Structure 1
Amino acid sequence: MQFKVESRIGVVAPPERLWSFIADLASWDQWNPVETGVSGAVGYGGAVSLTERIPGLPERVVTAKVSDWTPNSQLVWVEKRGFLFTVARFYEIETLGPENCILANGVIYSGLRGELAFDKQKKAIKPAVVAISEALKAAAEG
């Protein structure tokens, strides 16, 4: 079973502009209020490392693998938390027109303990993914 927290927001910018912020992992500190110190490679199987600072939850270091990516469209990485559950982190861009798109970002919990982790963290995670959406929108439109 999967449990998802997601934020969707309209952005007045071309998808390539949004993607330029998402794909440049080293610059996330400049716009992302939650995921900082990001390093790694955008590509299948690429490793991603970052510090996650979600208000109301302990700060933690995340190490994950890119499981899917499509330039100007999506980035997904998966973090295995033991053998009991996984957390997939995603950024998706839906093109509406040459200068307009929808940005979605969120977290999907799955596995045996995914429901328990989701229940404990969902109240803190929703405002965090909304803050990320708003910050990325502001950066892309600015």
Structure 2
Amino acid sequence: MHQIVTEIDIAAPPERIWSILMDFPGYPQWNPFIRSISGMAKPGETLRATIQPRGRRAMTFRPKVLTATDQQELRWRGRLVLPGIFDGEHYFQLSARANGYTQFTQGERFSGILVGIFVAQMEGATKAGFTAMNQALKQRAEAGGNTNADSTLTIEDGA
């Protein structure tokens, strides 16, 4: 097993951050890592997600939602072909802090026989993707207002 965990403090309440995370159609406007996501955020449902770490080609997968607790946690599991080959359990967790802040945690637990082969890539591109998404989420949440009106925020790709 291998795990990647990233955290960021955001000057916004959990309900604001949750509303951004649940606005799947808005992801292309702000999210530099999860370029698109669709489906229902309900346990047992299957999502369709496309991720694209910087400098890599996009990958689309169909994870199953494990947990969707309002304003607290969204968790899904994706698999490569069959269980036990390369599985990833991805999660977003929100924890209210003092003064209206929220600690946002994004992580993934990887397991399966192919995990060792991909550890360097996961620690590089995947972790960088998580961090870029966290920063973009912070920028969007702290800007306030309607999530659809925040589309003027830009994400620099450093190219």
TM-score normalised by L of structure 1: 0.91
Aligned residues: 141
- Listed one character per residue, the Cα deviations across residues 108-129 of structure 1 (whole Å, up to 9, x for unaligned) are 2112222322333321111111
Structure with greater Cα Rg: 2
Instruction: Give the Cα separation in 2 of the matches to 1:37 and 1:141.
Output: 22
Aligned match of 2:137 = 136
Higher RCO, 1 or 2 (CA under 8 Å, sep at least 6)? 1
Correspondence 1:39 to 2:38? yes
Aligned match of 1:81 = 80
Instruction: Give the Cα separation in 1 of the matches to 2:108 and 2:94.
Output: 15
Report sequence identity in percent: 25
For 1:1-142, list aligned pairs within 5 A. Answer: 2-83=1-82, 84-97=85-98, 99-142=100-143
- Tell me by how many angstroms 1:98 deviates: 5.9
Secondary structure of the residue aligned to 2:110 is strand
Secondary structure of the residue aligned to 2:63 is strand
Give 1 or 2: higher strand fraction.
1
Structure 2: tracts of 5 or more residues without a match: 144-159
Secondary structure of the residue aligned to 2:62 is strand
The RMSD of aligned alpha carbons is: 1.5
TM-score normalised by L of structure 2: 0.82
Instruction: Give the Cα separation in 2 of the matches to 1:8 and 1:133.
Output: 8
Structure 1: tracts of 5 or more residues without a match: none
Contact 1:64 1:77 in 2 (8 A): yes
Q: What is the letter of the counterpart of residue 96 of structure 2?
A: T
Runs of 4+ in 1 over 3 A off after TM superposition: none
- Listed one character per residue, the Cα deviations across residues 45-86 of structure 1 (whole Å, up to 9, x for unaligned) are 111112211124332112111111211011111111123120
